[in-house]
Structure 1
Amino acid sequence: MNFIKEAENILLHYNDLHRSLTNIEKQITQLVTISRPKELSAITLEVTGIPAKRVDETLNILYTLQTLQECKERTIGEFAKINKVLEDMGKEKGCELYGKVLRSWYIDKLAKEDIAEMIGYSTKRSVYDLRDKAIRKFAVMMFGIKALEVL
């Protein structure tokens, strides 16, 4: 496993994951809306109270709702983890700019010249060097000892 690539991938797709939460919420709302009780009519009910021909459809909706809710919770958990790592990186001596550089580079997608100016560096090359150090640290903080062993 290439932990640096995995770390970059997490940061590159940060905004996509954020947008996915909105889409998941929309899907959950739609499923709840279409599955709520309709007008009562003369129909045969099973012991469950669900019309016999709708049991499979109802089970499918319930499973889909459960799956979407799990995806939402995992995504929210990953956001918390990513944000915590980016925040904690900057608290260590010599690493104060790491979280800021990674957020600017991968999440905000700023131009390298703008990042250099923002952090007070004179050359774009020095920003690349700082990013390389920061992404290694991020990988270790995200993946632990296995990432450290291959760096």
Structure 2
Amino acid sequence: MLALVAPRVPRFAVFTVGFLIAGAPRFVALAAVDRLWAVYLISFVAGLSIAAVNPILGALIYERVPEELRARVLGPAHAISWAGIPLGGLLAGWATAGLAFPVACLLFGGAYLLVTLAPFVAPAWRELDRPSPTVHAPEREPSRVVPAG
């Protein structure tokens, strides 16, 4: 069912709203809400809202990166993304040890909010809704086998 709806919704709106709901509200909930069920509920809604972001990014990559360059683009992009995961945990540990837990949560929530607002100020993000450019592989000459001897 979602596969029928996905091509008909604007990518920019789904992407930005998904990130806005998924990011900062979780940190604010951890800092300000004292009911565990409310934190779970906010985290659940955040998880649902971020679910559409990765398919949009994946579709963009396969639409806009030429096939012969995908390994060169996706390899470093995934490596850098995954390398940041332990760094985030380390920074969170230092912030929590040095500051009160609610202050650290609000600090990271504010940083997350600033990052998620970037699509609203940078015009390049509006290209999410533009049709993808047609990517053609360069014309190649057939390989010629030179007989040995």
Give the alignment's TM-score, normalised by structure 1.
Answer: 0.36
Which structure would you say has the larger RCO, counting Cα contacts within 8 Å and 6 or more residues apart?
2
Question: Which protein is bigger by CA-based radius of gyration?
Answer: 1
Q: Provide the TM-score with structure 2 as the length reference.
A: 0.36
